[in-house]
Structure 1
């Protein structure tokens, strides 16, 4: 997400203009802003999906280095969740290394879980929505 800083005078001007709007105009503006937010989320979702697919070979190579297999992912509420099986001789340190390597490779924040790590109320939803890489 790109954050742009505005000067105090610009923000004051915007707030004054908002105060001068009628209730109907404020509702129209609110709907328009919500629509723009939905579009931005959809674009973010698609860009993350394209990045994951374009880096598939690298992701699988990295995951093998950390003893991870059965690599799946899902994007829920614009959050990328990777689900892996971790080899018995591997530890949470390997999972942490995998996490950092994926963040560096993809250039966006992700989370990595094994199935057992996902809390029960969410496990079924996440597993059912997960896609094999």
Structure 2
């Protein structure tokens, strides 16, 4: 649904951004209910919308990528999740700094996945 809105040429960036925010929350809810595949698909749509509305290194775009990595890991692909988390971590360190709570959260997820793969 979000991709359909994003595809309309007359949709404003503000409208796309608001719809992406709502879809992000819906994806979080799906994930909390264990519907990881549905949440991953929704986060993918949010990511596409974020790229239209924001830059790739915007904190909201990085938050979406963090959640995509979480869904990849929830699906059992720990190596894929770790690779995505590492990309997000690099960007967050550069944009937010190493001590920002979001940067630390991504670093903790990498540590968690490393333990699961050991």
TM range (shorter): 0.3 to 0.5
Greater share of residues in helix = 2
- TM-score when normalising by structure 1: 0.32
Larger radius of gyration: 1
- TM-score when normalising by structure 2: 0.35
Higher normalized contact order (CA 8 Å, seq sep 6+, divided by chain length): 1
